[in-house]
């Protein structure tokens, strides 16, 4: 295959039931970011970049016992750690380093200010600063207590009991109550109106207030991955329909204003429960029109922070800025609509996989910092990941690809449109390389650039596309991405169908033995690879440009931009 095409090189229970999961997940390295689109946790909730989506999953289960045994030996605390630890987060700055404002460049517009309805990963990473759940992730990939100061899980895994943290206030000045928690969980689980907003939590059968500081949640069936879904935002009781216009949370920053296509501004929460945070008085998240604009504003000093750089951008900024690289929780792929011709033919999809030179894409777009993959699992989830790169290879096998194309009746190729969100230069540049590579097997691919809103409407939700390049973001559970390929998943935007896959996914979710669960997840990865559900490319590295006047930023193993620990040093 020709490699000298002319393209300008511009790119995280220690306890009985869930203890095993943490062992594997804590191996997860620090985050990077790309796309999510609709997401929550290990179910039908995963995310992507503007082309990145998050997903929700889990179906309602049989009602469980809503009573709790007073015998504490029947359950173990899952959160003895970290209240004190998290209270110390970001205390590196001295008193005179408080204050000031910064501008953070972002690649896409906000799709919803309602934290339970936001779809895009780029939205969720911002709302992380405004909203908090009962628990939340930290920069080491651990779940730490947030609105809850402690929680326990019953031995049978069906009852979660949360103790609320004292002194947590909403941005409107009101104290968080058990009623607020009950309302929030009933809203996201569908208990209020029958419509789950976070499908993993649709397994909730009842939310009961035990006393002013204690809320008990009963679920239908045990799931060792479910605790991660309790990152769902706690909002004031009855405020659901207001959140999209005037969001009120408990996070380190409060909402000030939002202007479509321009950005969102937030201010310091002086009543934040985590002592000493945040440092900054305000943060503006400013939407960058394109990569060139982002580069110019960084160089001009009008933007202080910008993530998800292409390698060429990173090289241009390495002398003037802090350019930091970290692993990401993303799976980038050329996603293929399995329901449209000729991509409904597995041989055509396999041919495309053989035609891609993933090493070249990684070198050209990511400076060689990405990790090639051939299925939808993060290599950092070591206990669950299986390396399948030998299936198609990391370099192109044009002859094999042509053979499959001819066998499928497309020896002369065909035309194909690839939808990509224009504001993501990383994906656009990936597309440019792929277009050239597909020419070698007769596929005339063209790129259709679009804004994020259109992508969400037409591609992700409407499924009106043939191919698209984006990155799915994952949380710290192995089932987060696997769910979106179940036939009836709302997030199965590529229309992948496999009865075998559906059956094994159900077994993986029900499995409590760690080795058994890991085995099922490896089987799922192999099915996605063998069936060429899509042409998986890499888990990209996240290169981030930060002004030299800033310090304290922390990378996460999930898709967030935590501004609470950032401070100005000059």
pLDDT in tens, 184-233: 999 999 999 999 998 889 999 999 999 999 999 999 999 889 999 999 99
3-state SS of 89-134?
A: CCCCCCHHHCCCEEEEEECCCCCCCCCCCCCCHHHHHHHCCCCCCC
How confident is residue 119, by pLDDT bands cut at 50, 70 and 90? confident
Span 240-258, average pLDDT: 94
Q: How many CB atoms lie within 10 A of CB 4?
A: 6
* Nearest in space to 148 (alpha carbons), one of 12, 250, 26: 250
Asked whether residue 25 is assigned to any structural domain, the reply reads no
Length of the chain counted residue by residue: 570
Residue 428 lies in a domain: yes
What are the tens digits of pLDDT across the range 496-515? 999 999 999 999 988 888 89
Structure tokens at 425: 């230069």
Could you report the per-residue pLDDT of 357-367, keeping only the tens digit for each? 999 999 999 88
Residue 559 lies in a domain: no
Predicted pLDDT of residue 61 = 24
Nearest to 411, CA basis, from 461, 471, 347, 467: 347
* Domain count for the chain: 1
Distance CA 359, CA 189 (A): 42
The pLDDT value given to residue 29: 31
Q: What is the DSSP letter of 289?
A: S
H-helix segments, 275-341: 291-300, 311-317
pLDDT band at 94, cuts 50/70/90? confident
CB atoms within 10 A of CB 316: 18
Confidence of residue 117 (pLDDT cuts 50, 70, 90): very high
Q: Is 213 exposed, middle or buried (0-12, 13-18, 19+ CB in 10 A)?
A: middle
Tokens of 531: 């069936």
10 Å Cβ neighbour count for 289?
12
| pLDDT > 50? residue 6 | no
Q: What share of the chain is helix, strand, coil (3-state, %, to 5)?
A: 30, 20, 50
Share of the chain above pLDDT 90, in %: 68
Distance between CA atoms of 226 and 158, rounded to whole angstroms? 10
308 assigned to some structural domain: no
Does 322 fall in a domain?
A: no
Where do the DSSP E strands lie in 294-343? Answer: 305-306, 322-327, 330-336
List, in sequence order, the alpha helices (H) in 471-513.
479-482, 499-510
Domain harbouring 339, CATH code? 3.10.105.10
Angle of the 425-439 helix axis to the 358-366 helix axis, nearest 10: 150
pLDDT in tens, 307-358: 988 888 999 999 999 999 887 889 999 999 999 999 999 999 999 999 999 9
pLDDT value at residue 536: 98
Mean pLDDT of the 154-160 span = 95
Mean pLDDT score, 446-452:
95
pLDDT of residue 499: 98
**What's the half-sphere exposure (Cβ side, CA atoms, 13 Å) at 274?**
29
For 19-45, write each residue's pLDDT tens digit: 434 333 333 332 223 333 333 333 344
DSSP string, 75-91: EEES--SSHHHHHTTTT
For residue 63, is pLDDT > 60?
Answer: no
Q: Determine the structural domain holding residue 444 and report its residue range.
A: 330-501+528-541
pLDDT value for 543: 87
What is the tens place of the pLDDT at every residue in 419-446?
Answer: 999 988 899 999 999 999 999 999 999 9
Contacts of 65 (CB under 8 A, 6+ apart): 158, 159, 218
The 10 Å CB-count burial string (b at 16+, else e) for 265-288 is bbbbbeebbbebbbbbebbbbbbb
- Who wins on pLDDT, 411 or 556? 411
DSSP per-residue string spanning 373-424: -SSSS-TTSTTT----TTTT-SS--HHHHHHHHHHTT-TT-EEEEEEEETT-
Lowest mean pLDDT: which of 443-447, 523-527, 543-547?
A: 543-547
Q: What is the predicted pLDDT for the residue at 92? A: 53
Interval 462-485 mean pLDDT:
92
Most confident of 80-89, 282-291, 294-303: 294-303
Q: Which distant-in-sequence residues (6+ apart) come within 8 Å of 113 by Cβ?
A: 127, 243, 244, 245, 247, 255, 258, 264
Specify if 46 maps to a domain. Answer: no
pLDDT at 126: 95
**pLDDT for residue 512:** 86
Nearest to 210 by CA among 268, 131, 152: 152
Q: What is the mean pLDDT of the chain?
A: 85
Residue 238 lies in a domain: no
Q: Is 382 domain-assigned?
A: yes
Q: What is the dihedral angle through the alpha carbons of 162, 167, 171, 177, rounded to the nearest 10 degrees?
A: 40
β-sheet bridge partners, residue 449: 420
pLDDT at position 72 over 90: no
d(CA 404, CA 516): 35
Give the pair of three-digit tokens for residue 248: 């009120």
């Amino acid at each position: 295959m020709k490699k000298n095409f002319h393209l300008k090189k511009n790119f995280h229970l220690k306890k009985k039931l869930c203890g095993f999961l943490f062992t594997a997940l804590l191996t997860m390295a620090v985050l990077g970011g790309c796309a999510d689109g609709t997401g929550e946790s290990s179910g039908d909730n995963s995310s992507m970049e503007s082309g990145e989506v998050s997903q929700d999953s889990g179906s309602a289960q049989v009602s469980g016992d809503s009573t709790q045994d007073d015998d504490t030996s029947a359950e173990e605390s899952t959160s003895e750690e970290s209240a004190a630890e998290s209270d110390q987060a970001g205390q590196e700055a001295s008193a005179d380093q408080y204050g000031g404002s910064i501008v953070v460049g972002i690649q896409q517009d906000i799709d919803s200010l309602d934290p339970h309805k936001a779809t895009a990963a780029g939205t969720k990473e911002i709302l992380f600063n405004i909203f908090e759940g009962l628990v939340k992730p930290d920069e080491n990939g651990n779940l730490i207590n947030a609105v809850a100061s402690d929680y326990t899980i019953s031995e049978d895994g069906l009852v979660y009991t949360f103790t609320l943290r004292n002194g947590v206030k909403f941005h409107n000045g009101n104290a968080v109550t058990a009623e607020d928690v009950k309302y929030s969980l009933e809203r996201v689980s569908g208990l209020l109106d029958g419509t789950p907003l976070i499908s993993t939590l649709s397994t909730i059968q009842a939310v009961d207030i035990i006393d002013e500081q204690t809320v008990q949640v009963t679920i239908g069936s045990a799931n060792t991955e479910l605790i991660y879904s309790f990152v769902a935002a706690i909002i004031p009781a009855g405020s659901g329909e207001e959140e999209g216009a005037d969001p009120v949370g408990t996070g380190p920053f409060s909402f000030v204003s939002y202007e479509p296509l321009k950005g969102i501004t937030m201010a310091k929460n002086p009543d934040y429960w985590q002592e000493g945070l945040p440092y900054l008085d305000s943060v503006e998240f400013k939407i960058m029109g394109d990569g060139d604009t982002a580069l110019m504003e960084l160089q001009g000093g009008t933007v202080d922070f910008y993530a998800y750089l292409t390698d060429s951008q990173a090289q241009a900024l390495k002398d003037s800025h802090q350019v930091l690289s970290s692993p990401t929780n993303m799976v980038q792929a050329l996603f293929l609509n399995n329901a449209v011709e000729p991509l409904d033919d597995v041989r055509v999809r396999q041919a495309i996989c053989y035609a891609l030179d993933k090493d070249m894409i990684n070198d050209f777009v990511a400076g060689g910092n990405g990790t090639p993959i051939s299925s939808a699992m993060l290599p950092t989830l070591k206990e669950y990941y299986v390396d399948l790169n030998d299936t198609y290879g990391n370099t192109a096998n044009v002859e094999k690809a042509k053979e499959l194309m001819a066998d499928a009746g497309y020896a002369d190729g065909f035309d194909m449109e690839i939808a990509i969100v224009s504001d993501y230069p990383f994906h656009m540049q990936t597309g440019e390389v792929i277009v050239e590579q597909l020419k070698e097997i007769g596929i005339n691919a063209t790129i259709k650039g679009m804004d994020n809103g259109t992508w969400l409407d037409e591609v992700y939700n409407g499924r009106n596309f043939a191919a698209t390049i984006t990155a799915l973001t994952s949380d710290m559970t192995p089932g987060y991405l696997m769910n979106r390929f179940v036939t009836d998943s709302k997030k199965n935007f590529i229309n992948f169908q496999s009865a075998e896959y559906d059956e094994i996914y159900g077994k993986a979710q029900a499995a409590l033995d760690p080795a058994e669960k890991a085995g099922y997840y490896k089987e799922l990865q192999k099915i996605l690879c063998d069936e060429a559900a899509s042409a998986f490319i890499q888990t990209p590295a996240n290169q981030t440009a930060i002004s030299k006047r800033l310090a304290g930023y922390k990378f996460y193993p999930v898709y967030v931009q935590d501004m609470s620990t950032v401070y100005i040093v000059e």
